[in-house]
Amino acid sequence: MPELPEVETIKRDLSILIGRPFKSITVYDEAYLEKNEIMPKELKKLEGQRLLQLSRKGKYLFLHFSKPILGFHLGLTGSLILLAGENPFDKFKHKVLSLNFLEMCLVFSDMRKFGRLFLFDEEKNFQNFLIDIGPDALEIGLPQFKEALRSIRKPIKSALLDQKVISGVGNIYADEILFRAGINPLRSAGSLSEEELQKLYQTMKEVLHLAIQLRGSTIKDYVDGLGRAGMFQTKHLVYQKYGKPCPRCGEPIEKIKVAGRTTSYCPQCQR
- Catalytically annotated residues: 2-3, 59, 261
CB 22, CB 50: distance < 8 Å? yes
Please give the order of strands across the beta sheet that includes 51-57: 51-57, 60-65, 69-73, 116-120
Contact pick of 246, 258, 264, 265 for Zn ion (by CB under 5 A): 246
Measured at the CA of 5, the angle between CA 123 and CA 82, to 5 degrees, comes to: 70
**Number of residues near Zn ion (by CB under 5 A):** 6
Contact pick of 164, 249, 255, 262 for Zn ion (by CB under 5 A): 249
- CB-nearer residue toward Zn ion: 142 or 249: 249
Which residue number is nearest to Zn ion in terms of Cβ? Answer: 246
Judged by CB under 5 A, which stretch of 30-38, 72-80, 212-220, 244-252 contacts Zn ion?
244-252
CB of residue 269 to Zn ion, shortest distance in Å: 3
- CB-nearer residue toward Zn ion: 161 or 266: 266
- CB-nearer residue toward Zn ion: 64 or 241: 241
Judged by CB under 5 A, which stretch of 55-63, 73-81, 174-182, 241-249 contacts Zn ion?
241-249
Longest dimension (CA), the chain: 59
* Site track 194-233 with Zn ion (rule: CB under 5 A), x = hit: ----------------------------------------
248 binds Zn ion (CB under 5 A): yes
- CB-nearer residue toward Zn ion: 10 or 269: 269
CA distance 157 to 177: 10
Q: Ramachandran region of residue 29, left (φ > 0), alpha (ψ -120 to 50) or beta?
A: beta
CB of residue 157 to Zn ion, shortest distance in Å: 17
CA distance 227 to 131: 31
Listed in sequence order, the residues at least 6 apart from 228 whose beta carbon sits closer than 8 Å to its beta carbon are 215
> Could you tell me which of 172, 192, 170, 194 has the C-alpha nearest to residue 183?
192
Binding site for Zn ion (CB under 5 A): 246, 248-249, 266, 268-269
